Amino acid sequence: MSAAIKNLLLKIADDELIIGHRNSEWTGLGPILEEDIAFSSLAQDQIGHALANYTILQKEFGEAEPDVVAYLRTEKEFLSCQLVELPIGEYDFSLMRHFLFDHSESCRYELLLKSSFIPLAQLAKRIKGEMKYHTLHADLWITKLGAGTEESHARMQAALNEAMPYALGLFETSDYEDELISTGVFVGENALKTMWLERIAPIIEHANLKMPDIANIDPKFGGRHGYHTEYLQPLLSEMSEVLDLDPTTKW
């Protein structure tokens, strides 16, 4: 049972760590000052959520301290989905990834409120409020740009089409799926995907965008089992650059 919960915690935390670092790359580069601040705040929240999950791993299961888990593992050991590791691209892509990812995390934590694993249920209760503001921000900009000018609409539709196969990779199942469901730790990735689709579909429609045909999309799976794109390793090297100078240093 502990292996199943550890796997769940690790993939949640890895997603949040990696997208947090990706979103932080917009600091100083946002198209307007308000959005520069917004993406920096999103990044800070997401890395904080990652820390909280890594801390549960340490306290409940005796895993290494969060800094070690976050910065001293190999690429193959990361369970993050491929969506979060993609470069930030243009702002339209980052906004769409923000929309798709944060709604999935909001749904995930909402479902985890009823988890039989109490530390995770308690964490979900703390994080749920923050996720509300993440999704409100995403919804605002998806709607504003999707239903905006001809160019903004076309760019947001293209970003949605590009991001959706990777977003579906968020719901790649693990070898522990049946165990997590049967013990009440988590209702499962398929239930999460259903909830997510029901949540995002009306927003996409309101934004005058067309939902891609999910049934005919091949999800970008692999990340949950350690298979990543070419973009993750350079990011991990950059993230751990200072720590690698002397891993024994106490800051």
Mean pLDDT, range 99-120, rounded to an integer: 97
Can you give the pLDDT at residue 240? 77
Residue 248 CA to residue 218 CA, distance in Å, equals 43
pLDDT in tens, 212-241: 999 999 999 999 999 999 999 999 998 876
pLDDT value of residue 221:
97
The angle subtended at Cα 124 by Cα 193 and Cα 44, nearest 5°, is 95
**Residue 129: which pLDDT band, with cuts at 50, 70 and 90?**
confident
- How far is residue 151's CA from residue 157's CA, in Å, rounded to a whole number? 10
**Please, are residues 126 and 63 in contact by the beta-carbon 8 Å criterion?**
no
CA distances from 217 to 51, 162, 190 (A): 33, 11, 16
**For the packed helices 2-24 and 33-61, what is the interaxial angle rounded to 10 degrees?**
160
Residue 158, Cβ neighbours under 10 Å: how many? 14
Whether the predicted pLDDT of 245 surpasses 60: no
Contact 92, 155 (CB under 8 A): yes
* Average pLDDT estimate for 135-154: 95
Closest CA to 81 of 175, 186, 185, 171: 171
pLDDT of residue 177: 97
The whole-number pLDDT of residue 210 equals: 97
Nearest to 101 by CA among 88, 117, 114, 118: 88
Mean pLDDT in residue range 189-196? 98
Rounded distance between C-alpha atoms, residue 139 and residue 137, angstroms: 6
Is residue 186 pLDDT above 90, yes or no? Answer: yes
Tell me what pLDDT residue 1 has: 66
Dist CA 170 CA 190 (whole Å): 10
Residues 6 or more apart whose Cβ sits within 8 Å of residue 16: 46, 47, 49, 50, 53, 105
Q: Are 18 and 82 in contact (CB under 8 A)?
A: no
In this prediction, residue 31 carries a pLDDT of 66
Residue 180: pLDDT over 90:
yes
* Cα–Cα dist 148/156, whole Å: 10
DSSP 171: G
Identify the DSSP state of 218: -
DSSP 8-state secondary structure symbol assigned to residue 175: T
For residue 158, name the pLDDT band (cuts at 50, 70, 90). Answer: very high
Report domain extents, the chain.
2-244
In angstroms, rounded to a whole number, what is the distance separating the alpha carbons of residues 176 and 10? 13
Q: What is the mean pLDDT of the chain?
A: 93
Separation between Cα atoms, residue 161 and residue 25, nearest integer Å:
23
Q: Which of 70, 58, 93, 72 is nearest to 20 (CA)?
A: 70
User: What are the structure tokens assigned to 8, written together?
Assistant: 């769940």
Domain 2-244 belongs in CATH node 1.20.1260.10:
yes
Q: pLDDT for 4-50, tens place per residue?
A: 999 999 999 999 999 999 999 877 666 666 676 778 888 899 999 99
